[in-house]
């Protein structure tokens, strides 16, 4: 029985390779089934044609020779004459013709048996071997072996009947061409794989064609035909090469589509993890809300809040990392962890200290990779209404007063990561808010958004939008909607807008007042 094993250099399939390998294996199995079916069909047609035409002609020749002998009647008895050589008679020629015709009929049936054996080999590979192959390599080996066996059987059988049927050796070349074209049209092989087995069969055919008395062609003509014969495989080889190029292009397109789909799924899952770092909107004496619109699934804009459970003070930190997409999101993830650590170790830290520590972290770990960040850090105390802030190279935040006026919170420090920690000295500014006033912070994607004509939304329009009256239910959604309407799908940067609203002043209870007095006494 035939045994086809997996090649050692076949790596185990993983990920996209596994999907592509399974797809190629299924396609190769189908191609092998089609090839075997086509060869069986062609073989069946050849068998029927051989029985009807060639076997019939040989049988007719045998019958004609027998009829000739019968027509001659009984052979007259002649006395042998030792003095003279025997002379062939008509009866001798008729008996010789009968013997030759019988021998030719036997050769014809031998050829027919060889064709049946070739069909049995093809059926064996189709029914038994094809379901057992486990890789494209094994299918290639199986089909190559099938072609070599069947081709050798057919060529040898043609030599066997060469004396019975004229020009049968040259017709063996036609067998090879038909089989080669079928392989090149059906099997997913390149030109080398499709031609290699037929190179060996060409040697077999050349041997059968050059056998003395195998055909009526002169020996010189046969030698020339053998030398030129490889040319008949060129069209099939070119066809196989063209189909291999098309398959490679299709495989690349399918693989690229699969990778894009997989990467999109990974980005969707990364968006879930990324969004988990963002705070939830809340309300109370101070209300917080935001609107985030990255141009990809994830981006480099981030907002963080921290609410002191004792005093109700709200710390808001809004960051804008250089770049977009996955790289910027990874940087945000690092800054999120550092910011959580800072707030855990410095519970009473104010915006200046937090900004300095973030600048130190970015300068020491990211600046050598040209990764910097702008940001604004603000602290709103609902007990006094005092807002403290530091803006490090960031667009000025806006304060919308109760009467509709809009003021800017100016920049007080350089962008984070550009200056050594010893030289980074952020100025902390403060102002007092009244209930109903809103602080709006945003990233540069809001005012840098361009429309189809390339016109920016602009900081002036951001301020004009913040002056809208009557006030909307959500300032971040309202401003982000105006920006989105302006760029209409032409966004080239992430947009993040956050708002802190002082809804009412918080009056501490007696217990809190006592704790505050004790803390002041210790200081």
Tell whether 310 and 359 lie within a shared domain: yes
pLDDT at 5 over 60: no
Tell whether 321 and 444 lie within a shared domain: yes
Q: Please state, in angstroms and rounded to a whole number, the distance separating the CA atoms of residues 457 and 469.
A: 20
What residue has token string 């937090």? Answer: 354
Domain count, the chain: 2
Tell whether 337 and 431 lie within a shared domain: yes
Least-confidence region, from 13-17, 199-203, 391-395, 488-492: 13-17
pLDDT at 128 over 50: yes
Q: Please state, in angstroms and rounded to a whole number, the distance separating the CA atoms of residues 325 and 298.
A: 6
Choose between 229 and 16: higher pLDDT.
229
Nearest alpha carbon to residue 290 among 476, 472, 11, 132: 476
Q: Please state, in angstroms and rounded to a whole number, the distance separating the CA atoms of residues 159 and 162.
A: 5
pLDDT at 503 over 90: yes
Nearest alpha carbon to residue 486 among 444, 457, 445, 465: 457
pLDDT score at 314: 96
Write out the E strands in 359-473: 373-380, 386-392, 397-400, 406-409, 429-432, 438-442
Tell whether 290 and 196 lie within a shared domain: no
Q: What is the pLDDT of residues 81-127, one digit of tens each?
A: 566 655 566 766 777 777 777 777 777 788 888 889 999 999 999 99
Q: Last residue of a domain, which of 214, 239, 254?
A: 254
pLDDT at 353 over 90: yes
Listing DSSP states for 235-293 in one string gives HHHHHHHHHHHHHHHHHHHHHHHHHHHHHHHHHHHHHHHHHHTSPPPB-SSEEEEEEEE
pLDDT tier at 393, thresholds 50, 70, 90: very high
**Considering the domain boundaries, does residue 7 fall inside one?**
no
3-class DSSP assignment, residue 36: helix
Choose between 390 and 310: higher pLDDT.
390
**Considering the domain boundaries, does residue 262 fall inside one?**
no
Q: Please state, in angstroms and rounded to a whole number, the distance separating the CA atoms of residues 520 and 186.
A: 89
**Considering the domain boundaries, does residue 265 fall inside one?**
no
Q: Last residue of a domain, which of 208, 238, 254?
A: 254
Q: At what angle do helices 56-72 and 90-124 cross, to 10 degrees?
A: 160
Q: What is the pLDDT of residues 421-448, one digit of tens each?
A: 999 999 999 999 999 999 999 999 889 8
- CA-based R_g, the chain, Å: 45
Determine the structural domain holding residue 133 and report its residue range.
Answer: 15-72+88-254
Tell whether 235 and 316 lie within a shared domain: no
pLDDT at 164 over 80: no
Least-confidence region, from 133-147, 243-257, 286-300, 398-412: 243-257
**Considering the domain boundaries, does residue 404 fall inside one?**
yes
Highest mean pLDDT among 222-226, 262-266, 311-315: 311-315
Tell whether 325 and 471 lie within a shared domain: yes
**Distant-in-sequence, close-in-space partners of 363: CB < 8 Å, separation ≥ 6:** 416, 417, 418, 419, 420, 421, 424
What's the predicted TM-score (pTM) here? 0.57
140 near 193, Cβ under 8 Å? yes
Q: Please state, in angstroms and rounded to a whole number, the distance separating the CA atoms of residues 303 and 396.
A: 15
427 near 412, Cβ under 8 Å? yes
pLDDT score at 205: 83
pLDDT tier at 510, thresholds 50, 70, 90: low
The CATH number that applies at residue 418 is 3.60.40.10
pLDDT at 215 over 70: no
**Considering the domain boundaries, does residue 80 fall inside one?**
no
Q: At what angle do helices 168-186 and 15-49 cross, to 10 degrees?
A: 150
Tell whether 233 and 287 lie within a shared domain: no
Tell whether 378 and 469 lie within a shared domain: yes
Least-confidence region, from 72-76, 137-141, 320-324: 72-76
Q: What is the pLDDT of residues 259-294, one digit of tens each?
A: 766 666 776 777 777 778 899 999 999 999 999 988
Q: Please state, in angstroms and rounded to a whole number, the distance separating the CA atoms of residues 267 and 326.
A: 8
Q: 305 pairs with which residues across the strands?
A: 316
Least-confidence region, from 6-20, 196-210, 335-349: 6-20
Tell whether 250 and 332 lie within a shared domain: no
Q: Mean per-residue pLDDT for 409-418? A: 93
Choose between 71 and 302: higher pLDDT.
302
Residue 404, phi-psi category: left (phi > 0), alpha (psi -120 to 50), beta (remainder): left
pLDDT score at 523: 62
pLDDT score at 46: 85
Tell whether 60 and 183 lie within a shared domain: yes
Tell whether 139 and 247 lie within a shared domain: yes
pLDDT score at 172: 77
Q: What is the mean pLDDT of the chain?
A: 83
Q: Mean per-residue pLDDT for 156-170? A: 67
**Positive or negative torsion for Cα 334, 337, 342, 343:** positive
Q: Last residue of a domain, which of 254, 289, 319?
A: 254
pLDDT at 12 over 50: no
**Considering the domain boundaries, does residue 374 fall inside one?**
yes
Tell whether 92 and 227 lie within a shared domain: yes
pLDDT score at 163: 59
Q: Mean per-residue pLDDT for 123-144? A: 89
Give the chain's end-to-end CA distance (angstroms, integer). 94
Please state the φ and ψ torsions of residue 307, each to the nearest 5 degrees.
Answer: -110, 125
- The percent of residues above 70 in pLDDT, for the chain, comes to 85
505 near 435, Cβ under 8 Å? yes
Largest CA distance in the chain: 159
Q: What is the pLDDT of residues 16-47, one digit of tens each?
A: 456 667 888 888 889 999 999 999 998 888 88
**Considering the domain boundaries, does residue 9 fall inside one?**
no
Token pair listed for 354: 């937090």
pLDDT score at 221: 78
């Amino acid at each position: 029985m035939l045994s086809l094993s997996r090649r050692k250099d076949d790596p185990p399939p993983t990920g996209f390779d596994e999907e592509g390998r399974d797809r190629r294996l299924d396609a190769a199995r189908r191609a092998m089934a089609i090839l075997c079916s086509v060869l069986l069909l062609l073989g069946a047609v050849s068998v029927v044609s051989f029985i009807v035409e060639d076997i019939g002609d040989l049988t007719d020749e045998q019958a004609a020779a027998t009829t000739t002998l019968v027509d001659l009647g009984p052979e007259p008895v002649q006395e042998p004459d030792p003095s003279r050589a025997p002379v062939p008679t008509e009866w001798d020629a008729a008996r010789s013709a009968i013997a030759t015709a019988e021998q030719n009929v036997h050769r014809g049936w031998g050829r027919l048996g060889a064709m049946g054996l070739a069909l049995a080999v093809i059926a064996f590979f189709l029914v038994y071997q094809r379901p057992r192959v486990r890789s494209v390599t094994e299918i290639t080996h199986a089909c190559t072996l099938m072609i070599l066996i069947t081709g050798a059987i057919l060529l040898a059988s043609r030599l066997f009947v060469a004396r019975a049927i004229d020009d049968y050796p040259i017709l063996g070349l036609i067998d090879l061409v038909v089989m080669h074209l079928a392989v090149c049209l059906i099997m997913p092989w390149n030109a080398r794989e499709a031609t290699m087995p037929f190179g060996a069969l060409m040697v077999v055919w050349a041997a059968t064609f050059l056998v003395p008395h195998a055909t009526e062609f002169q020996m010189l003509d046969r030698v020339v035909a053998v030398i030129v014969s490889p040319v008949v495989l060129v069209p099939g080889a070119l066809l196989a090469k063209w189909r291999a190029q098309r398959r490679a292009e299709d495989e690349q397109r399918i693989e690229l589509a699969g990778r894009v789909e997989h990467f999109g799924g990974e980005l969707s899952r990364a968006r879930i993890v990324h969004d988990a770092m963002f705070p939830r909107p809340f309300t109370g004496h101070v209300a917080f809300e935001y609107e985030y619109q990255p141009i990809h699934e994830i981006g480099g804009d981030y907002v963080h809040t921290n609410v002191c459970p004792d005093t109700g003070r709200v710390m808001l930190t809004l960051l804008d990392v250089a770049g977009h997409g996955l790289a910027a999101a990874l940087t945000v993830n690092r800054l999120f962890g550092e910011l959580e650590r800072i707030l855990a170790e410095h519970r009473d830290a104010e915006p200046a200290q937090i900004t300095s520590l973030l600048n130190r972290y970015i300068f020491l770990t990211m600046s050598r990779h040209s990764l910097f960040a702008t940001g604004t850090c603000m602290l709103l105390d609902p007990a006094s209404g005092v807002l403290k802030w530091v803006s490090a190279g960031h667009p000025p935040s806006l304060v919308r007063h109760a009467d509709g006026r809009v003021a800017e919170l100016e920049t007080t420090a350089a962008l984070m990561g550009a200056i050594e920690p010893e030289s980074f000295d952020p100025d902390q500014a403060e102002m007092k808010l009244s209930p109903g006033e809103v602080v709006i912070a945003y990233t540069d994607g809001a005012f840098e958004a361009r429309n189809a004509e390339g016109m920016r939304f602009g900081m002036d329009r951001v301020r004009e939008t913040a002056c809208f009256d009557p006030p909307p239910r959500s300032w971040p959604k309202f401003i982000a909607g105006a920006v989105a309407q302006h760029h209409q799908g032409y966004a080239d940067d992430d947009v993040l807008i956050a708002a802190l609203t002082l809804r009412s002043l918080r009056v501490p209870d007696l217990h809190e007042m006592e704790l505050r007095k004790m803390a002041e006494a210790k200081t």
